[in-house]
Structure formats: structure tokens, C-alpha cells
A and B are shown apart, each in its own frame.
Chain A
């Protein structure tokens, strides 16, 4: 009988292939998570020098109570109708200076999108999730209108243009081209969303 000198060695030639397979598997399946959320600017602490007089009709008031109910322009409203009524308010265009607005030109509502202000007030006891939904709907109203105008002028969505513009990986030349377009749309519908101090009762 033949004498063995030790156990036979295992072929390790395929080890590299296995490792590469694992590497590729992990590369494909792992996504490096980027957070996303609603961007907001807080108002600065020091009040403006002079008092600006804003006509009541240019303010769209949204109140949220502690039970998550909405009071919009002194009327109870369902959360699902908020976006539509905010859009109607924003593009009302009562003074006729806004030629791209498709609103009804109701003299009792906002003059034009640059003057229209949405004022949000909430209770301290409001749930954060409700608050985010309301914020989402109001930002959505602006985005819907901006998208519509961007589609009309440049044939693409504003939100897509903006995210491409803000993405640091976009080449500089493309960003330069987008800058003016994004600015123009933002000026057509400036986001004027004011938040009052929260009420305690």
C-alpha cells in the first residue's frame, strides 16, 4: 500500500474568483444611504427694519390644531384638498400682472404669485407627522406650479432640473446652463412660506 505523506492539498485557484464574486455582490447590493428631506429656511431673529404692510387677501392662512385638523382661510379643510387650494390661491393673479397664471383672477384672493404668502400656524401639541404632511403638501403645491411652468418653457420638470443643479457630480458646464433656468422658475413662483410662533393652547 502506498504511504501518504500528509493530506492532499486543496486547489485554491478558484478562491480569487469566489472573492471577486463576493466583492461584486456587495458592490451591487450596498447602497450608500443619502438622507433626504424637506429643506426649509428659518426666519432670521432680528425683525425687518420697517413694517411691511401685507394685504389680508395675499395671505393664505393654514392652522393646524392639536388633533391634526386643518383650518384653512377660516374654514375646516381635509388634508387631501390642501394642495389644490394652495395652488388656486398662489396662481390666482387678481391684479393681472402674471400672464402665465391660470387662476380665476378672483379679486378677493392673491394679487400675483410674488405677493402671495402662505402662513402656517400650529399648536405645540400637533403631531410631527401631521406637520410634515402639511409642509409636504405646501411645498408640493409650489413644486407642481413650478413643474408646470418648467415643462412649458424648457420641456422638463423643475424638480429634476433643480436636483441636477444642486448635485455636485453634475459637470460645471451643465450647471451653468441650468442656473438661469432654475432661477427664472424660482422667481416666477417664489416660495413664501411663513411660520408663526407656535401657540400654546
Chain B
């Protein structure tokens, strides 16, 4: 009985001093990780596969253009015709050149001629709209393009 009472008294107190540290650590972790993707897709974007790919290394040298059918919630409003998405907005072919130029002017001078346009085109889209975009890019003399794809067997596309 005596022993029992002794152990009751000796229960150590929690030190909550390290809790804020832990919370901050987690917070910083999520802060650094979650800022990577910042645009919501309004179009379907199921990229085709390719094998001979090159990595797009530097994020700051890329201008993204999405093309695809409007996503499922928007089909009722917009129909199923493929649309172009530029930075969270749906746009027409003739908006591509002004958008690309305005994005380009935001980049620092030193990297302007290294900018690549990443074309993220859904695999069910017809080539016509893509060549219209390429024509627009040629007009503004932005000639480096990257057909962004998934890495995988290219023949899986044609089945």
C-alpha cells in the first residue's frame, strides 16, 4: 500500500514546451510543399505518353498553356469543344499571343530568350487547335515549345 501511494505521487508532469516547435515545423513543411501547384484546371488534361522526353528543369522559364475539353462540371455550360486555358481563365486562340507576351514581360531580362512554352494538351484533342496555337507563338517569335507528356510507352496512345 505504501509503495502504491509513492508511485502515484511520482507521475511526471508533461512538458509542453516542445509542442510549438513541432507545430511550427509541420507548418513550415506544409508551407513549402503546398505552394508548388497553384492553378486549377478548367479543362480535362490527360496528357499523352512519350518515351524520348526531356525534363523541364527550371519552373521560372516556363509558360504553360493548357488545352482540352472543358472539365465535367463545365460541360453543360461550355459544351465539349476543346478550349484553351491560360492561367485560370479559358481563352480563345487570339488571346494566346497577348497572354504569352505579358507573361514574358514578367520574367527577368536575362532569361527571356530561354523561355519555353509548355503545351499541355489533352490526348483526345485534334491537332488543328494545337497548330493554331503554334502559329500564334510563331507570330510573337517564341519558338521554343515543349509538348509536355507523361513518360511511358508511346504506342499506348494509339490503341
- Which of B26, B36, B50, B134 contacts A132 (CB under 8 A)? B50
Total contacts A-B at CB 8 Å: 173
Contact, CB under 8 Å: A9 / B12 = yes
CA distance A49 to B36 in the complex (A): 45
Dominant secondary structure of chain A at its interface with chain B: mixed
Residue of A nearest to B36 (CB): A32
Q: A80-B155, A129-B157, A140-B52 are in contact. Are A124 and B149 (CB under 8 A)?
A: no
CB pair A35 B15 closer than 8 Å: no
Q: Is the CB of A36 within 8 A of B54?
A: yes
Q: How far is the CB of A170 from chain B (nearest CB, A)?
A: 11
> Does A156 make an interface contact (CB < 8 A)?
no
B138 close to A9 (CB less than 8 A): no
Q: Is the interface of B mostly helix, strand, loop or mixed?
A: mixed
**Partner-contacting stretch, out of B71-79, B100-108, B124-132:** B124-132
Tell me the A63-102 residues at the B interface (CB within 8 Å): 68, 79-80
Cβ-defined contact, B55 with A163, below 8 A: yes
Chain B residues near A52 (CB, 8 Å)? none
- Docked complex Cα distance between A131 and B121 (Å): 11
Complex Cα distance, B8 from A80, in Å, reads: 78
Q: Mark B5-16, 1 if CB is under 8 A from A, else 0.
A: 100100111111
Complex interface: chain A residues within 8 A of B22 (CB): 15-16, 19
Residue B53 interfacial (CB < 8 Å): yes
Determine the interface band of chain A, counting residues with CB < 8 A from chain B: 35 or more
Q: Which of A11-41 contact B (CB under 8 A)?
A: 11-13, 15-16, 19, 22-23, 26, 30, 32-41
> Chain B residues near A125 (CB, 8 Å)?
126-128
Contacts of B139 in A (CB 8 A): 45
Docked pose: A165 CA to B53 CA in angstroms: 15
The answer to the question of A171 belonging to the interface, with a C-beta cut-off of 8 Å to chain B, is no
B-chain residues with CB within 8 Å of residue A34 when the two chains form the complex = 55-57
Q: Assuming A34-B55, A132-B157, what are 7 further A-B pairs, CB within 8 angstroms?
A: A9-B12, A23-B26, A38-B52, A40-B147, A42-B138, A132-B147, A133-B157
Chain A contacts to B: CB under 8 angstroms: 2, 8-13, 15-16, 19, 22-23, 26, 30, 32-45, 68, 79-80, 122-133, 135-137, 139-140, 143, 159, 162-163, 166-168, 197-198
